Structure formats: C-alpha cells, structure tokens
Amino acid sequence: MTDASLFGDRLEAVFAVYGKLCVGIDPHPPLLDAWGLPDSAEGVREFGLRAVDAAAGRVGIVKPQVAFFERHGSAGYAALERVLAEARDGGLMVIADAKRGDIGTSVEAYGQAWLTPGSPLESDAMTLSAFQGLGSIAGVLEAAERVGKGVFVLAATSNPEAAAIQRAVLQQSSRAGDTVAQAITSGVIAWNQGRTDAASRPLGSVGVVLGATTDLRSSGIELDVDGPRPGLPVLAPGFGHQGAELGDLRAIYGSLAAGVIVSESRSILGAGPGALAEAITRRVDEVGVAGV
C-alpha cells in the first residue's frame, strides 16, 4: 500500500506515471545568453519558470541547481522561491540541489530551510554532503522523515579531484575498511532498512548521489547484490552533456538501477525555450526505450 506521506512512495509513484527522467534547472550564464535572457535575478527567474512550464505534465521531477540562483543574492533567492512554488504547484517533484553540510544545529537549520512544509524554499528533497560523517546529518534525516521529505547524500561524485577522498579507506569507524563512498552508501541503506515498515516500502526516502561517469566499483560500492527492500533511490547526474549513455545505465549501476533518477540539464536546456517541451518529451521517450 502506497503512503503518500512518504517521499520514497511518492517517488515510486512518479516513476510509474512519468518515468525516471529528472530535468535539471541550471541557468548557466551561457544558457541564459542563448535563451536571450540577462544574467540577473530576473533572468534566472524567467529561465526557471519557462523550464517548469515545459516540464509540467511531461516529466515528474525537476532539480533546480541552487548555486545559479544564489549568486544573485537575495533577489536570486526570491527568484528561486518563485520557481520552487510554481514547480510544486505544477505537480512536479522538486529536488533542491543545495549540497549543504555541517554539524549540529547548523545542518539542522539547512534542513529546516529546504524541507519544512510552508517554508519559502520548500522542496520535496534536497542534496546533502556527509563528508563530516553520516551522523552529522542524522538530525536532518530524522526531521525529513517526520514531514515526508527526502534527502540525497553525496557519495560518489564525478569530478576527478573527488576520487582521492571518496575512495579513501576508513581507519577508525564501525565501517573501518570501507571506502568513504561505500560507507556513506551502506549507511544510507541501513538507515532506510531501519525505518518503520521498511520491508513493505518499494523505495526508501533517503538516497545517494552516484555520478553516472564515475567508476563506482573502484569507489568500493557494491552494485550486484539484491538487498532487502526498500530499494535505494539514486540521483544520477552525468547523462547527456557529461557523456554517460542511457544504454549503459544497468552496466553502470547494476542492481541499483531500479532506483536511479536520470538527471539531465544542459543536454535538454540547450534546446532553448521554444523547443524545450519537445526536447523533454523526446528524452522521456528515449529513457523509456532504454528500459529505465
């Protein structure tokens, strides 16, 4: 039985209706210029609203990249608030790509900003960094569960300089011997499995970010084990512009493929405002053909 109050169940419902494509809303300066928009708060707001309008009814998930709004200060945040509200009003699941991380009350405040119902920045889920230890974000995970929100924890990102840290082996930990990426992923799986009625959940409400252009096995992440329910949601940037191919998804993610969210931004947004809706529809069809 699906419980609409749980993020993992809502995500599974989105997969069933719209598939697994997520449209990133990344108003890069070159894209703003290509769209004929100014590199300003007004420009990123218009960019975001046009993207939301094209996505609504065609795809189930959008992921605004907070940094491109944040760089315009308070006016940029006001623009983002409008984009988030319009996306949620349009029936879209919103993942705020905020990549926040800290300890104690500081990280809890980040969670309150992005995940509290009624907050100006309310989203369905947010990205978090746990490289200070998974326990450092436990307060956010607990708060998210209470209000039916989701979290995606950075585990294996595709930027080359990250490999040395993500593949480092823990020395003093209950997961000593695991790589950092493996420990984060295993910890998130354990968190989901420890929730009430976990065995009956199709997907957990806490996921990980695993870049599609990353060698996940070299990061120590086990991909070929059919673990107990709930499944692991995986936010997967790297398809499209960054080079990962949809046809390789199962080879990249193994048994984790069932929970993968295929995140694309520039490869879709590059179509421009006039052709954006068509580009989204075409990519949704391609993702479906790939069996994702």
Class of domain 7-289 (CATH, top level)? alpha beta
| pLDDT value, residue 287 | 87
123-146, pLDDT tens digit by residue?
999 999 998 889 999 999 999 999
DSSP-assigned beta bridge partners for residue 231: 203
Active-site residue identified among 20, 63, 99, 149: 99
Q: What is the pLDDT along the chain (292 residues), one digit of tens a residue?
A: 345 589 999 999 999 999 999 999 999 999 999 999 999 999 999 999 999 999 999 999 999 999 999 999 999 999 999 999 999 999 999 999 999 999 989 999 999 999 999 999 999 999 999 988 899 999 999 999 999 999 999 999 988 888 888 999 998 878 888 899 999 999 999 999 998 788 788 899 999 999 998 889 888 898 876 655 578 999 999 887 677 888 889 999 998 999 999 999 999 999 999 999 999 999 999 987 666 7
Tell me how far the alpha carbon of residue 187 is from its chain's centroid: 18
Is residue 24 within 8 Å of residue 167, measured between CB atoms?
Answer: no
Is 20 tagged catalytic?
Answer: no
Burial (Cβ within 10 Å: 0-12, 13-18, ≥19) of residue 291 = exposed
198-210, pLDDT tens digit by residue?
878 889 999 999 9
**CA–CA–CA angle 259, 96, 65 (5° rounding):** 105
Distances (CA, A) of 75 to 70, 82, 105, 212: 9, 11, 26, 33
